[in-house]
Structure 1
Amino acid sequence: MKKNIVVPKKLPALPFDEWTDTRLTIHLILQIIGKTRLKSTTRKNHWWYITLYVTPRGFGTHGIPINDGLDSFEIELDIKRKAVIISRSSGEDIELSLADNPGIAEFYTRFMTEINSLGVFPKFIEKPFDVGIDKRFDEITEYHHYNWKFINTFWKLMLWNNSVFQEFSGRFYGKSCPVHIYWHHLDLVVTRFSGKKLPAMDKSARILEKDTYSHEQISFGFWVGDNNVPEPMYYSYTYPSPDRIDDETLQPREAFWQDSNGSPMALLRYEDVKNSVNPRKMVLSFLESTYLAGAKRAKWNIDELTVPDLDQL
């Protein structure tokens, strides 16, 4: 009797330069959604209350409480419906169609009108964050691009990476964050913590960094690229960066160390993953080797933090 052999599916291409305007349009929409969650959700450590999540339909916030917790709403960019959907616990949905290619200013005005109709008035900075656009959302008319082929490819790729990161996350006994998207850079992230609290940062540090880097950590991510790294890439870094961490050997052989603001960062090109025989195995080997590199150099108790197989309990 022959064994069933699972052949890894071919991952899609996502050329950085071919969907620039679409990527920025979708990035701005996700920032608007993320900023709404930021100002409508109770604080959780390390900014875990502001993030977005990959969903079976696109990208969403999960439930946001309203009416003193007796009701809630959820915001989702639904790829198949080509719309942003605001779902309410009362059972009614508000659909903001993107099929007619609205500019960001038009979308933002419609979106805020509907959010306000729920009795929600999020007071956030009405400008994009860290994308090089110094305009209010209601002034941005130049981004109105919706190449749904690339948007769907981006979502499918994030969906796949989400499953890989979740598998990797399940191997760790210590504190770790959910697998989620930080919308300022549009990267999918999972972070592990040793439990060691770090000295407070200097007063000149941004509040973003003060809460993010309050404890020793090893972070892992995937992002679709930016002007500095114009291609999709996997990354990992340890904070604080231990001495000579870049002497540690990475897996797979295509992975490499690169300086990032004075500290080594481990990188693996998505193109190498896409072209490999077993992409999932390749990404997991990268995540595991970068974790061991940081944990070894930072002297974490690796054995105690490793989840054993059930038959070993």
Structure 2
Amino acid sequence: MTLPELHLADWRPTKDTLHLYCQIVGKIRLATTAPRNHWWNVPLYVDVRGLTTRRLHHGGTTFEITIDFVDHTVVVRTADGRTESFPLSAGLAVADFDARLHAMLAELGIDVEIREEPFGVPMTTPFPRDTEHAAWDRDAIARFGRVLDWSDAVFEEFSGWFNGKTSPVHLFWHSLDLAVSRFSGRPGAPLDADAVTQEAYSREVISFGFWAGDDNVGDAAYYSYTAPEPDGLRDQPLPVGEWIEFGSGSLAILPYETVRTAPDPRTTLLAFLQSAYEAGARLAGWDTAGFESTWCPSPAQLQELHANAAATFGRAQERS
């Protein structure tokens, strides 16, 4: 499969509009699911047509909401066979999306109240008053959907190499990033932070993900970080990608464009994910051998993975 271009500047208005749509749908998911550790009850998921809430429960009914990137619609399906939808197109403001989705849910008897304001993004206008964000570039949405589908598949493969506690591969709507996380099983460091952050980092974690792009990282990119961050993490060599300073810590970053144009995008991304994991886990003292699953490549195969990526990107001498 040839991966499409996804430069932030080419679809920024649509990306911001989609982000806010996802926040509304995500908040409905939050309001209709029981709490889970690390907020695993709130994300959205990639499916064959776009993004979905999966099963939600309210008013004695099971239902799901899908943002369909193929037909460019929002679809609500209930367990008793009812289906309602409305089209997505240029000009549908966030305020209209919010009103139409709640009206559709009310007609089905499953509407819920949400906090009608964005979370964790630069946009601050409450959803019912946001008439500014109304872009919908169908081609850009289709390209984004293809990138999500491909990235989700690689993350699933990588996730299968680890037999410890692992998150699902899911999309966090507050930052619009597709993510998967591994845990050591040990408590995290105490944090002087809000309740959302405290719960997210209540256990030692190494996270991996894909950002669609924003003002902080620019164009779309893959990332990894270790929390709490062990000393010396930023000094560890990577066969592809770079460590950058991000907030109060370090972030391994691999531009999506580097992956897209690589001779073998899949192995390039896997080499980045594995090397970032090895760096964080080794310095943090994780039992890396004990966490290898039956499906994890052998040490020789992992070494070959790293070496091939390093050679491709001119870093054959960097890996110790």
TM-score, length basis structure 1 = 0.91
Paired positions, count = 298
Among residues 171, 185, 189, which one is paired with 2:179 in the alignment?
Answer: 189
* Alpha-carbon distance between aligned partners in 2 of 1:107 and 1:261, rounded to the nearest angstrom: 33
Question: Residue type matched to 1:303 in 2?
Answer: A
* 1:104 counterpart residue number: 94
CA pair 239-310 structure 1, distance change in 2 beyond 3 A: closer
Identity %: 38
Question: Residue type matched to 1:24 in 2?
Answer: D
Residues 67-146 of structure 1: matches in 2 within 5 Å? 67-68=59-60, 71-99=61-89, 101-146=91-136
**Does residue 1:210 correspond to 2:198, yes or no?**
yes
Question: Residue type matched to 1:247 in 2?
Answer: D
* 1:239 counterpart residue number: 227
Among residues 278, 282, 293, which one is paired with 2:264 in the alignment?
Answer: 278
CA pair 116-294 structure 1, distance change in 2 beyond 3 A: same
Question: Residue type matched to 1:56 in 2?
Answer: V
CA pair 126-287 structure 1, distance change in 2 beyond 3 A: same
* 2:27 counterpart residue number: 35
Residues 162-181 of structure 1: matches in 2 within 5 Å? 162-181=152-171
* Alpha-carbon distance between aligned partners in 2 of 1:11 and 1:147, rounded to the nearest angstrom: 18
- Deviation, 1:116, is 2.5
- Deviation, 1:102, is 1.6
**1:75 counterpart SS class:** strand
In structure 1, stretches of 5+ residues that fail to align are 1-8
* Alpha-carbon distance between aligned partners in 2 of 1:310 and 1:67, rounded to the nearest angstrom: 43
**8 Å Cα contact 1:224-1:231 kept in structure 2:** yes
* Alpha-carbon distance between aligned partners in 2 of 1:126 and 1:269, rounded to the nearest angstrom: 33
Residues 229-308 of structure 1: matches in 2 within 5 Å? 229-252=217-240, 255-308=241-294
CA pair 250-104 structure 1, distance change in 2 beyond 3 A: same
Offset from partner CA, 1:201-237 (integer Å, 9 cap, x none): 33xx111101000000000011111012220111100
Task: Identify the range of structure 1 (27-36 vs 127-136) with the bigger mean alpha-carbon deviation.
Answer: 127-136
In structure 2, stretches of 5+ residues that fail to align are 299-320
**8 Å Cα contact 1:257-1:267 kept in structure 2:** yes
* 2:15 counterpart residue number: 23
* 1:156 counterpart residue number: 146
* Alpha-carbon distance between aligned partners in 2 of 1:81 and 1:178, rounded to the nearest angstrom: 26
* Alpha-carbon distance between aligned partners in 2 of 1:111 and 1:117, rounded to the nearest angstrom: 10
CA pair 288-62 structure 1, distance change in 2 beyond 3 A: same
* 1:6 counterpart residue number: none
CA pair 22-100 structure 1, distance change in 2 beyond 3 A: closer
TM-score, length basis structure 2 = 0.89
* Alpha-carbon distance between aligned partners in 1 of 2:97 and 2:233, rounded to the nearest angstrom: 46
* 1:4 counterpart residue number: none
**2:251 counterpart SS class:** strand
Question: Residue type matched to 1:138 in 2?
Answer: P
Offset from partner CA, 1:136-158 (integer Å, 9 cap, x none): 11111112111100000001100
**2:67 counterpart SS class:** strand
* 1:44 counterpart residue number: 36
* Alpha-carbon distance between aligned partners in 2 of 1:10 and 1:161, rounded to the nearest angstrom: 13
- Deviation, 1:271, is 1.1
**8 Å Cα contact 1:40-1:120 kept in structure 2:** no
* 2:313 counterpart residue number: none
**2:185 counterpart SS class:** strand
**1:23 counterpart SS class:** helix
Offset from partner CA, 1:230-250 (integer Å, 9 cap, x none): 201111000000000122211
Question: Residue type matched to 1:271 in 2?
Answer: E
Task: Identify the range of structure 1 (172-181 vs 114-123) with the bigger mean alpha-carbon deviation.
Answer: 114-123
**8 Å Cα contact 1:105-1:139 kept in structure 2:** yes
Question: Residue type matched to 1:26 in 2?
Answer: L
* Alpha-carbon distance between aligned partners in 1 of 2:157 and 2:164, rounded to the nearest angstrom: 15
**8 Å Cα contact 2:23-2:118 kept in structure 1:** yes
* Alpha-carbon distance between aligned partners in 2 of 1:311 and 1:128, rounded to the nearest angstrom: 42
